[in-house]
């Protein structure tokens, strides 16, 4: 059975009411391995954000709550409520065992990773995120994934690899512990207050750049990391 495309339009409208957007989707190959923990899944729709559009909705929700990981909790509630209306199962990037969200995103939108590991979007640059996904027991009528330009291929200077004071990103990968120590330390105030300097150095999608308070929120969450 294949769900009609109108179902997708309704889902997109429901998510948009909270600043979230559909980020593409696909049907799993017949007979292929389904996602871990969901043996009956036949299709997936990715849910995320472009820029900081969800931020005002999240702040209103957060005012009356004091909980750990509030953004994850808000995302689960919003996406879960939409999932219930269409008979889908909502999953999150923080679910364990971890689901292959980045691989799903690359397949759904045709994106490739930037030197920072964040997927580079031809419109949003590095200023986007995936907040969850909807898994369906039936296939969905979806348009073919269009080919997109990978902006990093034409970026010669690579300023995203030259702005971090501790060279956290390099050809060898992400120096997690060095980055974490810097963000927590006295010299890490610019990063804590304004976000990752390497990410902010990227020249693409700047009109979608998260405001400083949003970047500070995410950096505070990173600084609280325990591993």
pLDDT in tens, the chain (227 residues): 445 445 888 999 999 999 999 999 999 876 555 666 666 799 999 999 999 999 999 999 999 888 888 999 999 999 999 999 999 999 999 998 899 999 999 999 999 999 999 999 999 999 999 999 999 999 988 888 889 999 999 999 999 999 999 999 988 889 999 999 999 999 999 999 999 999 999 999 999 999 999 999 999 999 988 66
Report the C-alpha gap between 7 and 171 in whole angstroms.
43
The token pair at 31 is 């007979």
Q: Which helix (H) or strand (E) segment is 214 a member of?
A: helix 212-223
Q: Where are the domains of the chain?
A: 2-150, 155-223
The token pair at 91 is 């999953």
The token pair at 10 is 């309704």
The residue among 95, 107, 165 whose CA lies nearest residue 132 is: 95
Whole-structure pTM value: 0.92
């Amino acid at each position: 059975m294949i769900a009609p495309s109108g179902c997708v339009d309704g889902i997109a409208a429901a998510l948009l009411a909270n600043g979230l957007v559909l980020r593409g989707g696909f049907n799993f190959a017949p007979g292929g391995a389904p996602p871990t923990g969901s043996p009956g899944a036949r299709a997936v729709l990715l849910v995320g954000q472009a820029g900081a559009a969800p931020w005002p909705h999240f702040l209103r929700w957060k005012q009356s709550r004091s909980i750990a990981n509030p953004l994850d909790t808000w995302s689960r509630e919003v996406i879960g409520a939409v999932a219930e209306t269409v008979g889908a199962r909502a999953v999150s990037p923080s679910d364990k065992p971890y689901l292959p969200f980045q691989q799903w995103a690359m397949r759904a939108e045709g994106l490739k990773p930037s030197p920072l590991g964040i997927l580079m979007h031809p419109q949003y640059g590095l200023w986007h995120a995936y907040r969850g996904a909807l898994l369906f027991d039936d296939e969905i009528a979806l348009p073919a994934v269009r080919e997109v330009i990978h902006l990093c291929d034409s970026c010669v200077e690579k300023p995203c690899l030259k702005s971090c004071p501790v060279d956290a990103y390099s050809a060898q990968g992400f120096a997690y512990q060095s980055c974490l120590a810097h963000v927590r330390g006295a010299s890490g105030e610019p990063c804590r207050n304004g976000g990752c300097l390497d990410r902010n150095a990227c020249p693409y999608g700047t009109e979608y750049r998260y405001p400083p308070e949003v970047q500070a929120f995410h950096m505070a969450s990173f600084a609280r990391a325990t591993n």
